[in-house]
Each structure stands twice: as structure tokens, then as C-alpha cells.
């Protein structure tokens, strides 16, 4: 199909983009990589009166290592993250990027666009939650930072306020002996996650878990941190039995959705399996590092 008529604006800076969004009001949408917005427009599911293209703004693309965090520009493409050399403990970023859709989407789609679209079955939410990302926003009131755990409000809804633009995502550099992983059961036609699970595990010199975070996507109305799993992991030496016991709580406090792709009971069972596997993979990477 062909999109409904709209006005096109190309912003040359973040400030210009914010100004345009203020002037155009609620009828404007931001265009990044285009792999979420444009299909919705072609299907007439989205009919913005104006589009603000931020795709050529300098500084919104790339991966920058700082002293205590890694900053990923919102326009960084999935393929760039899949090929990136990242600090130990952030392996889930590259794994998540490499498992998104197909090569065409990975070479055009952006991490920021995906996070703002907030599809409940998207891959990035699980990884960003498990790695405790911080989303950097710029709007009429200046800059503010939103923790990933507060970002996903409802299906396709985020904490992004009118007139704001997501400019970067910051990931704390993990402590020594940390590992992470992302795994998913995908829909074969689209590669969206029926269930996706990301885990980060940190261990001490004796192999005891000193920190854990688990993000799950595709199961509930919104992606979430599986805090019940994390609580059972921290403070224990993680063997298969302990991990299985923790993973059994993967959907605690969550109502799994049921749709044409999978029923609620099936999703709950798969979530336990993939959380267990993600934790085991993350643990293996943590233990492989020098004490």
C-alpha cells in the first residue's frame, strides 16, 4: 500500500529536530531507520501529518567507550552492534543485534528506533533491561535520563514525552567476572520473539553469584525484568539445579499473553527454558574470565 499524504522534514541537528517537533505538534513522528514507522504508514496503521527525519544528524550514530559506561548512539544500526567489540559482560548486545530479523533490516534498522517503537515482541528490550541501560532523551526542557526498567509503559508506549528525541543508550561497564547472553524462540516468518531472554551474571572468586539481571520479551504486554529469578540467583553458587529453580519463576507476577503465535501456557513454559539457558550461557562467560 501507499502511505497517506504527509509533510517531510529533514533535521540537521538534535536542536532542530526538537524545534520541529514542537512546531508540528502531536501530528508529527520521528523517522530513524524506518523499519518500524514506514511499514505502519504503508498499512495506514500510522498516519502522521508530518515526518521529522533525524537519520543524518551527526553524533547520533556509533559506539563510544567511556570510563564507566558504553554509550550507543540511538541511530546505531543493528549490524554495527552485531559486529562491535564490546567489553566482557556486554556480549548480549552483539548477540541481540545479530538475531534481529534479516540482513536487510539489520543494516538499516536502529536500536533507538526499535526502543521507541516498543513492540512487546522486539529483541532489544530484553537486552537493554538485563544490561541496565539508561536512555538519554533531549527535549524542550533539556536532557533527561530514563532507566530501562521505567521505559516500557504499555504495548507500543514508552516514557518518551512529546517533543523529545532518544539520542543514546548508556550501558554501565560490568564488574569483573561478568557475562551476559541473549537467546530467543523466534517466529519463523518475521524473526520477532515468541519469547526472548537476556541475562547478565557476575560472580566472585569462589564462583558465587554477586549480581544478576534478567530481561524477558515476548511474554507479557510489556518487556520486564524477571526480578523473582534474580533474587534466587544472587548470593548462591550457581549449578544447574539452582538455575533451574530460579528460572521456574520466569513469569512470576506476569500474565503471559495468548495470540495466534503461541498460547499463554506455552509462553510461560518456553520462558522458563530460555531464561535458564540464557543464565547458563552468561554464567559460563563470567566463569571463563580470570578471578
- Cell numbers at residue 189, please? 516468518
pLDDT at 44: 92
What are the φ and ψ backbone dihedral angles of 121, each rounded to 5 degrees?
-105, 10
pLDDT of residue 189: 65
Q: What pLDDT was estimated at residue 36?
A: 87
Q: What is the pLDDT of residue 59?
A: 92
Residues of the chain with pLDDT under 70: 189-190
- Measured CA to CA, the distance from residue 222 to residue 282 in angstroms comes to 23
> 203 has which bridge partners?
209
* Cβ neighbourhood burial of 233 (10 Å; 0-12, 13-18, 19+): buried
What pTM was estimated for this model as a whole? 0.95
List the end-to-end C-alpha distance of the chain, in Å, as a whole number.
57
User: Which string of DSSP letters, residue by residue, matches 53-82?
Assistant: E-TT-TTSSSEEE-SSEEEEETT-BHHHHH
pLDDT of residue 187: 83
8-state DSSP, 12: S
Q: What is the tens place of the pLDDT at every residue in 84-141?
A: 999 999 999 999 999 998 898 899 999 999 999 999 999 999 999 999 999 999 999 9
The pLDDT, as a whole number, for residue 185 is 96
Whole-angstrom distance, CA of residue 4 vs CA of residue 23: 21
What is the C-alpha separation between 97 and 91, in angstroms, rounded?
10
Instruction: Report pLDDT for 33.
Output: 86
All domains in the chain, ordered by first residue: 7-52 (3.30.43.10), 63-172 (3.30.465.10), 178-286 (3.30.390.50)
Instruction: Report pLDDT for 49.
Output: 95
Amino acid at each position: 500500500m501507499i502511505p497517506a499524504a504527509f509533510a517531510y522534514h529533514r533535521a540537521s541537528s538534535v536542536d532542530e529536530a526538537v524545534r520541529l517537533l514542537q512546531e508540528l505538534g502531536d501530528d508529527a513522528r520521528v523517522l530513524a531507520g524506518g523499519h518500524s514507522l514506514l511499514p505502519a504508514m504503508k498499512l495506514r496503521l500510522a498516519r502522521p501529518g508530518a515526518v521529522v527525519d533525524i537519520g543524518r544528524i551527526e553524533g547520533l550514530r556509533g559506539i563510544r567507550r567511556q570510563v564507566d559506561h558504553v554509550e550507543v548512539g540511538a541511530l546505531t544500526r543493528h549490524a554495527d552492534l552485531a559486529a562491535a567489540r564490546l567489553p566482557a559482560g556486554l556480549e548480549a548486545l552483539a548477540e541481540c543485534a545479530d538475531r534481529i530479523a534479516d540482513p536487510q533490516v539489520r543494516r538499516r534498522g536502529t536500536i533507538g528506533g526499535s526502543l521507541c517503537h516498543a513492540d512487546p515482541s522486539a529483541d532489544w528490550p530484553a537486552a537493554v533491561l538485563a544490561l541496565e541501560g539508561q536512555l538519554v532523551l533531549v527535549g524542550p526542557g533539556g536532557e533527561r535520563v530514563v532507566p530501562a526498567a521505567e521505559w516500557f509503559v504499555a504495548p507500543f508506549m514508552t516514557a518518551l514525552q512529546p517533543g523529545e528525541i532518544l539520542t543514546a543508550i548508556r550501558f554501565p561497564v560490568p564488574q569483573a567476572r561478568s557475562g551476559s547472553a541473549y537467546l530467543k524462540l523466534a517466529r519463523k516468518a518475521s524473526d520477532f520473539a515468541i519469547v526472548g531472554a537476556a541475562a547478565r551474571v557476575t560472580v566472585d572468586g569462589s564462583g558465587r553469584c554477586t549480581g544478576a539481571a534478567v530481561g524477558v520479551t515476548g511474554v507479557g504486554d510489556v518487556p520486564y525484568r524477571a526480578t523473582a529469578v534474580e533474587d534466587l540467583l544472587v548470593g548462591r553458587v550457581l549449578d544447574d539445579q539452582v538455575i533451574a529453580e530460579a528460572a521456574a519463576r520466569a513469569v512470576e507476577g506476569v500474565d503471559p499473553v495468548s495470540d495466534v503465535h503461541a498460547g499463554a501456557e506455552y509462553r510461560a513454559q518456553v520462558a522458563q527454558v530460555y531464561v535458564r539457558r540464557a543464565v547458563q550461557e552468561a554464567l559460563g562467560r563470567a566463569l571463563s574470565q580470570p578471578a
